[in-house]
Amino acid sequence: MNQNLSTSGNQCFLKALKKVLSSGLIIIVGLVFLSPDALAFELSARSRVTPFVEVRETFDDNIFLLSDGEPLPINAKSKDDSIFNLSAGIGLDVDITRFLTLGLAYRMDYQNYADNNENDQFIHALELKADVSKRAYFKRLTINIKENLTTVPIDTTQALLPGNKTFRNEFQITPSYRIIDTKRTFFDAGYSYRRIDYTKNTVQLTSTPLVTETTQVVSNSQSHGGVFNFGYIVNPRLTLVTDYNISRLLREKPEPTEIVDPRTRADITRQRLTGGVNYKFSPRLSGLAKIGFETNSFSEVEFVDPTTGQVQRIDQRDRSGFAVNFGLNFNITPSSSLAFTYDRFFSENDFGETLETDDIISRLVLRLGDNARTSLAFNYRHETRELIQTPATAPGITTGNDSANSIGFAGDIEYMITQRIRTFGGYKVANRQFFSEIFFDPTRGDREDTTQTFNVGVGYSLTRYLSINVDYEFVDNNSNFDTDDYSVNRFSIFSRATF
């Protein structure tokens, strides 16, 4: 089933939204600084407002992440540069009634380069939400509404090039109704609707000059789904749970001549069934374990064979696999915690590729006395996709699986020397193994990078709401491709106001 989703109206809406939000934010920031009591940022007993403003000046000695001896990109003025950054945002939650909460989170970032002005950018991020809790209507209805506006880099390896970004607008609404609600048993049934739109922009991809517009690599989509959750409370510690989700993703179908990769334009039917337990081992330790199965079916897609000029069809085989959701949470003390999660799932990235993902995340937060805090984090991700030969070679022939891996470790510490002076520092190392076929740079398949980052700084609190900070960061990247080896030194001074 083909769906032609209009984008012109959405683009006009996004442009108007950016202007309104920019003007509104300036007014809010003005109120923050002009009000003698800072409004207490508790507009009423039912409202919570958390604005911030940050001004930063950074010297970066390698803004394009160039290796030693590598020439500057076209139109670049210098390898190093000074960057002025203004960030501002606001978080707002309003309890309309006992059952309805409206929320808004908005952030804007303005970057100005002293020499390389073509890299100046103005970025917005917006999230709107509405939560209707159970017992609001008929005592059993829940409604969640979310709206997100973010910026997506089209060529992640050349993200600093001007024009290589586009806006991504996501809207989602999920009403759910509790059909069964007894002392031990519950059963929820819901409907989920999600729509994703990208603005149409011109891009400059040095590795893929045939791509000139974002619509060639991203596509608007909408999805409809059913959500079913069943639970049985065995005792206060143990609950048996079963979840079933089914969804249909409908993608915009452009003219066949505009399709770069037919795999990314197929409609998808996805089903996921999992079952398991929630268990509370003690007041401080709780866990979740669910296992099941997930399947994906793809529709045929038309494209123009560049060799013959004829419109042909490409079909992908179904993909399926085990689905896992596992988590442990241990509250060591009121201010220290340990968390571990493992998830296995299917999803789509912004370029439409379907990825089977194994995701492991672990985080330890410790409070060391009254003046120190430290955290340690570990993450591992394994992504697998179907690798189909491109239309120029043999359309529609599956050649096998292609995988990418990333593993990382990070640690940071913060120490309060006095009530006003703090020091902070951190170190992280990450190893990333890329897919064997990289769309944006076909010559760099099987690339592997190891990146180390070290930072240290000191901050001084002028008031309860305002601080000034100095920070140094060093980044070193070691790659199996010499042209991707680089190092960066960044010195920053910034002031941040929070309320």
- Of the candidates 183, 268, 260, which has an alpha carbon nearest to the alpha carbon of residue 222? 268
For residue 12, the surrounding DSSP H or E stretch is helix 8-34
Q: What pLDDT is attached to residue 342?
A: 97
Secondary structure of residue 442 in the 3-state scheme: helix
Q: What pLDDT is attached to residue 22?
A: 47
pTM greater than the 0.85 cutoff = no
Query: Token pair of 286, please?
Result: 């709780």
Low-confidence spans in the chain with pLDDT less than 50: 1-14, 16-42, 134-137, 389-398
Residue 127 to residue 140: CA distance in whole angstroms: 26
Q: Tokens 């309060």, residue?
A: 416
Residue 81 to residue 68: CA distance in whole angstroms: 17
The predicted-structure confidence for 112-134, as pLDDT tens digits, reads as follows 999 988 888 888 888 887 776 64
Measured in whole angstroms, the distance separating CA 192 from the mean position of its chain's CA atoms is 20
> Residue 401: CA atoms inside 13 Å, Cβ hemisphere, count?
10
Residue 468 to residue 460: CA distance in whole angstroms: 5
Task: Characterise 174 by phi-psi region: left (phi > 0), alpha (psi -120 to 50), beta (else).
Answer: beta
Q: What pLDDT is attached to residue 101?
A: 79
For residue 33, the surrounding DSSP H or E stretch is helix 8-34
Q: What pLDDT is attached to residue 264?
A: 76
Q: What residues pair up with 488 in beta bridges, in sequence order?
A: 475
Residue 345 to residue 244: CA distance in whole angstroms: 13
Q: How far is CA 119 from CA 59, 82, 158, 160, 165, in A?
A: 15, 12, 12, 7, 11
Residue 430 to residue 452: CA distance in whole angstroms: 7
Q: What is the CA radius of gyration of the chain?
A: 25
- Of the candidates 491, 490, 484, 489, which has an alpha carbon nearest to the alpha carbon of residue 68? 484
Q: What is the largest CA-CA distance in the chain?
A: 73
Query: Token pair of 168, please?
Result: 């991504």
Q: What pLDDT is attached to residue 144?
A: 85
Residue 237 to residue 283: CA distance in whole angstroms: 10
Amino acid at 146: K
Fold of 8-141+154-166+201-211+253-498: Porin (2.40.160)
